[in-house]
Amino acid sequence: MSFIYREQYATAPLTDVVRKVWVMDNARNPQPFSSKTVLPNGCFNLALVTGAGLDVRNRRGPLAMSEGIYFCGQARLSVDTTIRPFTSVTMVQLHPWGPARLTTASFADTADAIVPLAAVLPALHELLTTCLGQPETAVLAFLQTHLPPLIATDLPLLRQACLRWQHTNGTLAVLELAQEVGCSIRSLEKQFRHALGLTPKAFATVLRVRGVVDALQRPHASPLAQLALEYGFYDQAHFINAFRKMVQRTPGQFVPAEYMLPLMGTGY
């Protein structure tokens, strides 16, 4: 059998932290699968790896991920993946504010990091060990029951800011967003660095580029110059450079089939 991609979205109350579970299933394939690249979307992920493992290359360099559970920080650039034969990777996608609702620890140095989950969220790691090798429906059902009691921190301002930027594909200026949520730019920057490991500007840029990626998948997509304006890029050179940096292709070279893109057609 060949590689299979699947996804399933969370329901309340799990949606306070988890957006969905997506699966890169190469468990029945005797060949490695390496023809898809994963793009940033402003979310965190937990990777439950079973089987021979996978190899990734991102901004921090190459990494071999053997069987286990990993914390994947906010990505700023595309991630090249090779799923080894007889391997399945179940990804639990967390909202941007998700990890910070489970701990008071800082995520300031976690951008582009892929590390054992036990080093970041030990209680969650202990919880998820029983989910290794389980189908995504079972993982979601387990988290639905066992994760909500771990949610201890309320972050209304951060959540509001992230949602507002998601709904506008990052096109609001940082000052405008800070004024909408009722805080200073400095306070907003402090919260983003602590909870996401990104500056507000970097987070917004990921969402803007991802918005263009989503738009390019639609039938009869608008011309690139129009898309650049729609997603807040008022300088064509800036748009091309930001897109190329994150996607590793220019907008004109982008081919959706080369990327691991959500079935719903939206990046977040």
Which pLDDT tens digit goes with each residue over 84-104? 999 999 999 999 999 999 999
List, in sequence order, every beta strand (DSSP E) within the chain: 4-9, 18-26, 37-38, 44-51, 54-58, 61-65, 68-72, 79-83, 87-94, 114-116
What is the three-class DSSP state of 69?
A: strand
Most confident of 33-37, 125-129, 152-156: 125-129
Nearest to 8 by CA among 126, 141, 189, 153: 141
Among residues 150, 169, 195, which one ends one of the domains? 150
204 lies in the same domain as 120 = no
pTM for the whole thing? 0.95
What is the C-alpha to C-alpha distance for residues 47 and 17, in angstroms, rounded to an integer?
15
- Give the pLDDT score at 1: 66
Nearest to 208 by CA among 254, 166, 169, 162: 169
174 lies in the same domain as 112 = no
Q: What is the residue whose two structure tokens read 């509001």?
A: 160
Amino acid identity of residue 191, one-letter, is Q
pLDDT digits (tens, 9 = 90+) for 99-112: 999 999 999 999 99
Question: What's the domain count of the chain?
Answer: 2
Among residues 131, 150, 169, which one ends one of the domains? 150
189 lies in the same domain as 71 = no
Question: In which band, very low, low, confident or very high, does the pLDDT at 121 lie, cut at 50, 70 and 90?
Answer: very high
Asked whether 41 and 31 are in contact (CB, 8 A), the reply is: no
Q: Which domain holds residue 218?
A: 156-258
What is the C-alpha to C-alpha distance for residues 54 and 88, in angstroms, rounded to an integer?
9
Amino acid identity of residue 266, one-letter, is T
Quick check: 43 pLDDT over 90? Answer: yes
Question: In which band, very low, low, confident or very high, does the pLDDT at 245 lie, cut at 50, 70 and 90?
Answer: very high
What is the C-alpha to C-alpha distance for residues 237 and 233, in angstroms, rounded to an integer?
9
Q: In what order do the strands lie in the sheet with 54-58?
A: 37-38, 79-83, 54-58, 61-65
Among residues 129, 150, 171, which one ends one of the domains? 150
End-to-end CA gap in the chain: 29
